[in-house]
Structure 1
Amino acid sequence: MRSADKPNGAAELTPRTASRLFGVPRMRGYLDAVGGDPAAALELYRWNTAVGGAFWETLGHVEVVLRNALADRLAARHAAAGRPGSWLDDAARELDGRARRDIAKARRRAGAKSGDAGDAQTLTELSFGFWRFLLAKRYATTLWPGLARGFPRAPDRARATVEQPVKRLHEFRNRLAHHERIWNQPLKSHHDDIVTVLGFVDEALVGWVSAGCRISEVLARCPIERPHP
């Protein structure tokens, strides 16, 4: 918050107080990046939070689109095979134990929240990690041939073409979720991965998401020179 934006009578947050509130170990990385200047470290900390927020906004679109693309293909595959119930029931036991446990937990959470443990509510309770691991090598000959059709704009049908950018975004998302330093990460590359994954699904989607995306704008305001673009 700039000085002009502070409420009347609000005290200035000093670097010493910030270190106490945010944690000395957390602030140490920022201090090291700016040669030990406490005020500059606090400015970098604020920017790190801002760019993280910008990424959260756009990654949300990736999560929803990826979830729906994969869920739709799995449902279509299940129906084409003439299997009863839902693909989430995994009657053919194609999913690994971790995925089945994730689905069971998601159903319980959905039921506890709304009393509705149906497929629609269960899907929203499944994490980004669940969908990311459906693209793993272990499913190359089982799920992937059907899942590939969920990415009609990908340059080829190779599983790794889709998995690799999704894997990187999943790892990056976990850093964001734990409020870690990201100012020293290859943020431009992560942004490119977002655009790539969205583009594999629908070209028009890239333009729509990009129109509301703040990532490039915030990246341009970084108060220091970063080790990666």
Structure 2
Amino acid sequence: MAPPRTARSIAPVLYHSLSADRLEDYLAEVPNRDASHAIALYLWNTEISGAFWEALAHLEVALRNALAGQLAARHGRRQRPGSWLDNVAKELDRRAERDIGKARARVQMNRKPPSDGQTISELPFGFWRYLLTKKYASTLWPDVANAFPYSPDRSLATVEQPVHSLHRFRNRVAHHHRIWTEPLSQRWADLQALLSYLDPVLCDWVIFNSRVPAVLKTCPITRPHP
């Protein structure tokens, strides 16, 4: 059976399946609460979320690998036993320890090899985000700063600000929240900045393959932020 194509025919289905409360945010922003315009905005929000998700995926993998590499090297220079994930020097806080424990449990549950690589792949974006805070400014950061060889300086704040913003933004995308109300051009700039600090060539590759700039131009309404 062909799917319903008109706003009038699909609106009741969306109200039931997606919830009236969810769609109300879109109806409230379009002229005359027109269902067709609201659905167009909803579809655009999905499209721009998908475009950002692709770029965020590249950033997240590159960021965690860069940070993990520096932390492993730091652990080796200090001639500590085991892995940096074991936190033998108790430099990581309880939040980080819980995240590592959960990641290792997921690796075991999935019957994967109990390696650092498998554990790192299970750690959430928030784990890496909280390693880049003032709490670790005098312990981890002097070494972790080397993960960003192309940053304009070695200031923690230079990296922390875009990571903080993108962590919050990533979670909104991951949980299918509306993002058309967000300053999307600034989030795109934050993402490019971080990628360029890690590796300018990687940054250029992500930009070249990203749908974000093109999709940003097609929003069916004037957004509150550029």
- Please, which of 103, 110, 113 is the counterpart of residue 113 of structure 1? 110
Find 1:88's aligned residue among 73, 85, 89: 85
Deviation at 1:161, TM superposition (A): 0.6
- Indicate if the aligned counterparts of 1:108 and 1:117 stay in contact, CA closer than 8 A: no
Residue matched to 1:5: none
- Decide which of 29, 46, 58 is 1:33's aligned counterpart: 29
Name the counterpart of 1:4: none
Counterpart secondary structure, 2:28: helix
Runs of 4+ in 1 over 3 A off after TM superposition: none
Which of 144, 147, 154 is matched with 1:150 structurally?
Answer: 147
How far apart, in 2, do the equivalents of 1:113 and 1:129 lie? Answer: 22
Q: Distance in 2 between matches of 1:106 and 1:45?
A: 34
Q: CA deviation at 1:184?
A: 1.1
| 1:178 Cα offset (Å) | 1.4
**Which residues of structure 2 form unaligned runs of 5+?**
none
Which residue, 71, 74, 79 being the options, matches 1:74?
71
Please give the TM-score of this superposition, normalised by the length of structure 2: 0.96
Q: Confirm or deny that 1:130 pairs with 2:123.
A: no
**Which residue of structure 1 lines up, in the alignment, with residue 13 of structure 2?**
17
Greater mean deviation of Cα atoms: 106-115 or 134-143: 106-115
Query: Partner amino acid for 2:13?
Result: T
What CA distance in whole angstroms lies between the structure 2 residues aligned with 1:221 and 1:22? Answer: 23
Would the aligned equivalents of 2:149 and 2:197 in 1 still touch at CA under 8 Å?
yes
Q: In the alignment, what sits opposite 2:197?
A: 200
Deviation for aligned residue 1:165: 0.1
The match for 1:52 is: 49
2:185 is the alignment partner of 1:188:
yes
Instruction: Tell me how far apart the structure 1 counterparts of residues 117 and 12 of structure 2 sit (CA, whole Å).
Output: 48
Partner of 1:218: 215
Report SS of the residue matched to 2:180. Answer: coil
Task: Show the counterpart of 2:59.
Answer: 62
Measured after TM superposition, the shift of residue 40 of structure 1 is 0.5
Q: Within 1, Cα distance between the matches of 2:133 and 2:15? A: 41
Q: Cα offset for 1:81?
A: 0.5
- Deviation for aligned residue 1:16: 2.6
